[in-house]
Amino acid sequence: MPLYLVSTPIGNLEDITQRALRTLREADLIAAEDTRVTGRLLAHYRIDRPMLSYFEHNEARRIPQVLEALRQGQNVALVSNAGTPGISDPGFPLIRACIEAGIGVVPVPGPSAILAALAASGLPVHEFWFRGFAPRKASPRKRFLQESASSSATLIFYESPFRIRALLEASLEVYGDRRCALGRELTKKFEEMIRGNLSEAIAWAAHNEPRGEFVLLIQGSS
């Protein structure tokens, strides 16, 4: 049996496909980044299936267990807390292990914070570069940002509320005062999209307590 990569809502529980729900209902085992988070989604749709925790710090131990379940013919679905497994979330080592073992990997696509933010940003969408999370420390973060300073693509970053202001300030230093869009709590009740220049986004962060998960988009070099 193949491994199913099931995309789940990034906030609003209504944002899930019928195919994803069917895959979860038919799964013999659901490997979940956080069983509590996935449990709430399953309970909302009245799905009762066995779950196995699968997160960054137990991946090495879980991969043989999941491979064995797949070899035994079990339906296994991999989910992260939100969005698509493996995209800045656990999953890549398992996906690679399945491919190397000759086991199929089937994507069940769905919500994406990257594409949702890009579509609503007002920035060019014909070319973009997803950079994921920037390093936490100042010097590695600056080097990381400098790698894309000359790119003409719209740059996309994920960041936590605790480090978003530091990322904005470092971006202004490296890129100059480019146009940007800052997406917060996408698809949720307090969804917000701040658009303007990096200096304006920094001013917003200075006068508002950042809460929720952020997607930062920065216009590419001209």
CA angle 92–105–67, rounded 5-degree value:
75
Residue 3's SS3 state is: strand
Bridge partners of 32, per DSSP, are: 53, 79
Please provide the DSSP assignment of 70-117 as one string: HHTT--EEEE-SSB-TTSSSTTHHHHHHHHHTT--EEEE----HHHHH
What per-residue confidence (pLDDT) applies to 40? 97
Query: Can you give the pLDDT at residue 210?
Result: 87
Residue 139, judged by CB atoms within 10 A of its CB (0-12, 13-18, 19+), counts as exposed
Q: Which two tokens stand for residue 171?
A: 């971006």
Q: How many CB atoms lie within 10 A of CB 198?
A: 24
- pLDDT value, residue 221: 97
Please state, in angstroms and rounded to a whole number, the distance separating the CA atoms of residues 120 and 31: 32
The pLDDT of residue 222 is 87
Token couple for 71 = 């070899």
**CA–CA separation, 177 vs 10, rounded Å?**
29
Please give the order of strands across the beta sheet that includes 105-108. 51-53, 29-32, 76-79, 3-6, 105-108
Give pLDDT tens digits along the chain (222 positions): 899 999 999 999 999 999 999 999 999 999 999 999 999 999 999 999 999 999 999 999 999 999 999 999 999 999 999 999 999 899 999 999 999 999 999 999 999 999 999 999 999 999 999 999 999 999 999 999 999 999 999 999 999 999 999 999 999 999 999 999 999 999 999 999 999 999 999 999 999 988 889 999 999 998
Q: How far apart are CA 107 and CA 23, in angstroms?
A: 11
| pLDDT at res. 99 | 98
Q: What is the pTM of this model?
A: 0.91
Helices (H) then strands (E): counts for the chain: 8, 10
Residue 218 identity = I
Structural domains in the chain, CATH included, are 3-108 (3.40.1010.10), 113-218 (3.30.950.10)
